[in-house]
Amino acid sequence: MNSGVDNNKPSDRPKQGPVATGTGNLRRSSSGQGDAGGDVGLDAAYGLATPDDNRRLYKSWAASYDSDFIDRHQYVYHREVAAALIWVADGRSIEPILDVGCGTGVIGSALWEEGVRDIHGLDISPEMLAEAAARTASDGEAVYRSLVEADLTQALNVPSDRFGAIVSSGTFTHGHVGPEALNELIRIVRPGGVLCLGVNEQFYQASGFQRKLAGLADTGLLADCKVASARIYDDPPAGHEADTALAVTLVLPA
């Protein structure tokens, strides 16, 4: 078990839309506000306190999130995390992959470009899930095979050992989801599987991530843990020039 900071770089199927499991309405929301000001945007997101706060904010932000945040700030975090997952898999089969806090689905597209096809998403916001459901690859095929509305701070209605890997960017951060979610995520990954989680670096320190990882390793739940730096933006939002992130890769015992 290596729990220190390691700065090494990190099917065919019928065409169909994603399957919503308990998601309620997966249509596009028309409630986005068209810019990242007011009650949406990164500062508002970092100031959230509860899952319900997250549901409310992302309901308002979903329709404009890609243009106002991903594109405007040249967000690269999802690509960094996807690349770290592919790197740690090192050619092993890691599908199906679950993207937790998938939002509008930017990691799904990054994984698709890496040749991954069996991609699933989970998020607390039906409006963000609707954006992910509409995301297609260059051939018009839906990027996500299924999308589920769920709260990562609660027990998940997902069978144990269901996925080969879990991936995430932008969700383990201030005001969102902390290390308390890790036990449930580990439960739904099969033995020998991998988790690759982007974690805001300042949040990693403040929320006790390292202590949680050490505890998981001590109880035999991790075979390996590596932490590498990951870029978030090429053009950071004002006031967030110093924000940094980590790609935390966890390998489960076989």
Element (H, E) at 250: strand 245-251
For tokens 């919503």, the residue is 20
Distances (CA, A) of 24 to 129, 145, 183, 219: 10, 16, 26, 38
With binding defined as CB under 6 A, does residue 125 bind ligand SAM?
yes
Cβ(240)–Cβ(220) below 8 Å: no
Q: Please, how many CA atoms are within 13 Å of residue 138, restricted to the half-sphere of its CB?
A: 4
- Rounded to a whole number of angstroms, the minimum distance from the CB of residue 170 to ligand SAM is 3
Which residue number, 164 or 198, has a Cβ lying nearer to ligand SAM?
A: 198
Q: Does 23 bind ligand SAM (CB under 6 A)?
A: no
Choice from 109, 169, 200, 249 touching ligand SAM (CB under 6 A): 169
Q: CB-side exposure of 17: number of CA atoms within 13 Å?
A: 11
Residue with tokens 């960017």: 169
Nearer to ligand SAM, 136 or 153 (CB): 153
Amino acid at 207: S
Cα–Cα distance, 208 to 254 (Å, whole number): 26
Task: Name which of residues 179 to 238 contact ligand SAM (CB under 6 A).
Answer: none
Task: In whole angstroms, give the CA distance from residue 234 to residue 19.
Answer: 34
Looking at the Cβ atoms of 2 and 175, the one nearer to ligand SAM is 175
Which residue among 109, 171, 200, 249 contacts ligand SAM (CB under 6 A)?
A: 171
Which residue among 119, 128, 199, 247 contacts ligand SAM (CB under 6 A)? 128
User: Binding to ligand SAM by residue 152, rule CB under 6 A?
Assistant: yes
3-state secondary structure of 46: helix
Interface positions, 132-151, toward ligand SAM (CB under 6 A): 151
Nearest to 129 by CA among 16, 15, 25, 17: 25
- Of 118 and 123, which has the nearer Cβ to ligand SAM? 123
Residue 57-96 contact track with ligand SAM, rule CB under 6 A, x = bound = -x------------------xx------------------
Query: CA dihedral in degrees (232, 73, 97, 53; nearest 10)?
Result: 90
| Residue 41 in contact with ligand SAM, rule: CB under 6 A | no
Q: Which is nearer to ligand SAM, 170 or 179 (CB)?
A: 170
Residue nearest to ligand SAM (CB): 103
Do 29 and 129 contact (CB within 8 A), yes or no? Answer: no
Interface with ligand SAM includes 126 (CB under 6 A)?
no
Residues that bind ligand SAM (CB under 6 A): 51, 54, 58, 77-78, 101-103, 106-107, 123-125, 128, 151-153, 169-171, 176-177
